[in-house]
Structure 1
Amino acid sequence: MVLLQQSFLCFQYFGIWPPLHLKPKSWRSRFYSLYTIYIVALVYWFTLSELINLLITTDDVEEFSDSCFMLLSMTAVCAKILIILVKRSDIKDITVALERYPHKAMNSKEQDIQDEYDGQVRFLTSFYGVATEITVWSMSIFTFFQEIPFGVLPYKAWIPYDYSGPRVYWLTYCQQLLSVIIGANVNIGFDTIVPGFILQICAQFNILKCRLHPVITYFKDEEHSKEKSTDVSILSENHLVECIKYHRDIFKMAKKINSIFTSVILVQYAASSIIICVSVLLISKMPLFSPKFLALFMYLSCMLMQIFMFCAAGNEATIQCQSMIDGICGTKWYLLGNRMKKYLLLMMLRTLRPVRFVSGFIITLSLDSFCAVPPQNVLLGIHSTAKVFMMKNFVTKNSVKKNPIG
Structure 2
Amino acid sequence: MEKFDWKFTIRVNIMILKIAGLWPKGTEIYKFNCYTLYSIFSLNVFINIHNFFQAVNIVFVYTDLETIATLIFMIMTELLSSFKVYCFVRNIATLKKLMVKLDKKIFQPRNDQQRDLIRPNLNSWKYIYVVFWIPVITTLVLLAIYPIMDGSVKEYRLPLSAWYPYNTKTSPSYEITYCYQIVSVWFLAITNLNMDMFSAALMMYIGTQCDILCDDLRNLSTSADGEYAKKLLDCIQHHKTIVKFATQSNNFFSDVALGQFFATTVSLALAMFELTLVAPFSSECYSLLFYAFSMTVENFLYCWFGNEVELKVSLMISF
- What TM-score do the two structures reach when normalised by structure 1? 0.72
Deviations 1:32-61 (A, max 9, x none): 334322211121011111112124531233
Kept after mapping to 2: 8 A contact 1:105/1:111: yes
**Which residue of structure 1 aligns with residue 286 of structure 2?**
294
Q: Which amino acid letter does the alignment assign opposite residue 278 of structure 1?
A: L
How far the C-alpha of 1:70 sits from its partner, in A, is 1.1
Offset from partner CA, 1:87-125 (integer Å, 9 cap, x none): 112111111111212112121112112322111111111
Match of 1:317 in 2: 309
8 Å CA contact 2:61, 2:68 repeated in 1: no
Is 1:137 aligned to 2:137, yes or no? no
What per-residue deviation string (whole Å, max 9, x for no partner) do you get for residues 258-283 of structure 1? Answer: 10111122112111111111111111
Contact 1:137 / 1:181 at 8 angstroms: preserved in 2? no
1:7 counterpart = 2:13: yes
Structure 1 segment 58-207 matched on structure 2, within 5 A: 58-148=62-152, 149-207=154-212
Single out whichever of 317-326 and 210-219 deviates more from structure 2.
210-219
Q: Report if the CA contact (8 A) 1:139-1:295 is conserved.
A: yes
Find out whether 1:285 has 2:277 as its counterpart: yes
> 1:248 matched to which residue of 2?
240
Q: Distance in 2 between matches of 1:158 and 1:25?
A: 34
1:47 touches 1:71 (CA, 8 Å); kept in 2?
A: yes
Q: What percentage of aligned pairs have identical amino acids?
A: 22
Map 1:41-56; keep pairs closer than 5 Å.
41-42=44-45, 43-56=47-60
Contact kept? 1:65, 1:278, Cα under 8 Å? yes
Task: Select between 257-266 and 143-152 the one with higher mean Cα deviation.
Answer: 143-152
Match of 2:3 in 1: none
**C-alpha distance in 1 between matches for 2:70 and 2:310:** 38
Q: Secondary structure at the match of 1:166?
A: coil
Greater Cα offset, 120-129 or 6-15 = 6-15
**Kept after mapping to 2: 8 A contact 1:10/1:188:** no
CA shift for structure 1 position 24: 9.2
Consecutive unaligned residues of structure 2, counting only runs of 5 or more, are 1-6
Structure 1 residues 305 and 102: alpha-carbon distance in aligned structure 2, compared to 1, 3 A threshold: same
1:201-240 → structure 2 map (5 Å cutoff): 201-219=206-224, 232-233=225-226, 235-240=227-232
Q: Which letter maps to 2:239?
A: H
- Aligned partners of 1:325, 1:89: CA distance in 2, in Å? 31
2:36 aligned with 1:33: yes
- Structure 1, unaligned runs of 5 or more: 220-231, 329-406
Look up the match of 1:348. Answer: none
Aligned residue pair count:
311
- For 1:346, the equivalent position in structure 2 comes to none
Shift in alpha-carbon separation, 1:63–1:308, aligned structure 2, 3 A: same
- Contact persistence 1:3–1:95 (CA under 8 A): no
1:83 maps to a residue whose letter is: C
Matching residue's letter, 1:5: R
Residue 266 of structure 2 is matched in structure 1 by 274
CA contact 1:7–1:188 (8 Å) conserved in 2 = no
When Rg is computed on C-alpha atoms for both structures, the one with the higher figure is 1
Shift of 1:133: 1.6
When residues 15 and 24 of structure 1 are mapped into structure 2, their CA distance, relative to the original with a 3 A threshold, is closer
* Counterpart in the other structure of 1:262: 254
